[in-house]
Amino acid sequence: MSAQFDQLATRILEGGAATEADALAVLQAPDFDLMSVVAAAGRLRREHFGNKVKVNYLVNLKSGLCPENCNYCSQAIGSEAPILKYSWLSKDDAIKQAGAGLKGGASRVCMVSSGRGPSNRDIDKVVEMTEALKDEYEGVEVCACLGLLKDGQAERLKAAGVDAYNHNINTAESNHDNIVQTHTYDDRVDTIGKAKSAGLSPCSGLIAGLGESDEQLVEALFALKELGSDSIPVNFLMPFDGTPYENTWELSPTRCVKILAMARFVCPDKEIRIAGGREMHLRTLQATALHVANSIFLGDYLTSEGQDAKADLEMMRDNGFVILGQENAFNDGTFDDVFNAPSAGAAHAAATTPCGSATTGCGTSCGGCAAGLADDAVAEDHKPVIRQRGAGTEVPANA
Ligand code: SF4
């Protein structure tokens, strides 16, 4: 095993910092060195976060119908992905949806709406929802993700009790205009600055797999470091049919782990969150990735299904992790009902592929999940499954 990454971790633990060359070396490490990378990045993870996993839960307050043209997004103008489309959830429905995630182990609720940015009336709605949520669930963290902010809006969110604001840079500045043309990289940076100035914790991250080079991934991570992002969601492109990135599969499970490890080396004490695309891209390496990242989303994503919340909880428990804020929950019976219940998505998965691996990675020796870069058959198996439960439906949430 290579000592190079262990030495890098030691240097960082002693107060040094990863250089761009270090980050590139992590990203370009041969697959046979993967476990040296994980072991070294895991030292930084354990130093700052121990064996705790922060669990986040997405509530899609308003879905689809967006006038922006982010090419990766199933909600963008021009997207023909058959996603749920609805306008604002009522306050009560938003609280009900958030409550499902909180009961499932989440400590942070991410309240998201599609669109270029909120109107002041939209801010009124999120203010009311936040106040009601904080009244009902003591200690809950709220992150708002509403698009580009105008002057004064971040301050209103902060005053209502919102803790954090998410606005991803998504990719390197040098790649930004290839993925969206209706707003600029500077627009995005401006909103992160507004959130930060208002005292909101900045949450900003990436989407990997958008045609970027290795150097551009490094560029994006150093930009996030410079911006002072407290939480860094690392998304892996979900190539929805009906979007410009349909059938774009650039990632392998080992590359995804290396991207997360690179994020850990560059920003050792920040929350590195495995975000959208976790199941389809990391597949059987999801748990390995948790040894370098310290945060995940529970259950479903904005417009697509995640693996069963039960599988998320089992993955954490079985690998010796505990949930931040509920450190004894795997031992005190909190989730016994969940662990003893049949999988919510089992019937769906069984109907989708012979081994049930469409959204979860089956963990068996069927071979469907074992490929490196996805071949056509594997890609077909792991395509995004459109969310048809939770927010915007009458079907119970996956939480
Ligand atoms: S990422 Fe946000 S702004 Fe861009 S198309 Fe999707 S919902 Fe609209």
- Using CA atoms, how far apart are residues 370 and 113, in angstroms rounded to an integer? 35
Q: Is 209 part of a structural domain of the chain?
A: yes
State residue 360's pLDDT score: 35
Position 64 pLDDT exceeds 90:
yes
State residue 342's pLDDT score: 73
Position 367 pLDDT exceeds 60:
no
State residue 361's pLDDT score: 35
What is the average per-residue pLDDT within 372-399?
A: 79
State residue 1's pLDDT score: 55
Nearest-atom index, ligand 1, CA of 67 = 8
Q: Which of 279, 225, 314 is nearest to 12 (CA)?
A: 225
State residue 350's pLDDT score: 38
pLDDT in tens, 275-295: 999 999 999 999 999 999 999
Q: Is 352 part of a structural domain of the chain?
A: no
**Distance, CA of 82 to chain centre:** 21
Residues 258, 242: contact at Cβ < 8 Å? no
Nearest-atom index, ligand 1, CA of 115 = 8
Burial of 93-120, coded b for 16+ CB within 10 Å and e otherwise, reads ebbebbbbbbebbbbbbbbbbbbebbee
State residue 355's pLDDT score: 34
Ligand 1: residue whose CA is nearest its atom 2: 114
Position 346 pLDDT exceeds 60:
no
Q: Is 354 part of a structural domain of the chain?
A: no
Ligand 1: residue whose CA is nearest its atom 7: 114
Nearest-atom index, ligand 1, CA of 73 = 6
Position 351 pLDDT exceeds 60:
no
Q: What is the mean pLDDT of the chain?
A: 91
> In which element (H, E) is residue 381 found?
helix 376-381
Sign of the dihedral through C-alpha 200, 151, 166, 392: positive
CB of residue 70 inside a 6 A radius of ligand 1? yes
Q: Is 208 helix (H, G, I), strand (E, B) or coil?
A: strand
CB of residue 147 inside a 6 A radius of ligand 1? yes
Residue 204, CA distances (Å) to 201, 230, 376 in order: 10, 8, 32
CB of residue 75 inside a 6 A radius of ligand 1? yes
What is the average per-residue pLDDT within 109-133?
A: 97
Residues spanned by the domain of 241: 48-327
Q: Who has greater pLDDT, 256 or 365? A: 256
Partners of 295 in the β-ladder: 54, 273
- Using CA atoms, how far apart are residues 173 and 227, in angstroms rounded to an integer? 13
Ligand 1: residue whose CA is nearest its atom 5: 76
- Using CA atoms, how far apart are residues 161 and 140, in angstroms rounded to an integer? 10
CATH number at residue 158: 3.20.20.70
- Ligand 1 centroid – CA 75 distance (Å): 6
Number of domains into which the chain is organized: 1
Nearest-atom index, ligand 1, CA of 74 = 6
Nearest-atom index, ligand 1, CA of 75 = 6
State residue 394's pLDDT score: 87
Q: Is 194 part of a structural domain of the chain?
A: yes
The pick from 68, 74, 191 for probing ligand 1's pocket by mutation, whose C-beta has the most ligand atoms within 8 angstroms, reads 68
Ligand 1: residue whose CA is nearest its atom 4: 70
CB of residue 81 inside a 6 A radius of ligand 1? no
The pick from 73, 184, 187, 301 for probing ligand 1's pocket by mutation, whose C-beta has the most ligand atoms within 8 angstroms, reads 73
pLDDT in tens, 300-314: 999 999 999 999 999
> In which element (H, E) is residue 57 found?
strand 52-62
Position 370 pLDDT exceeds 90:
no
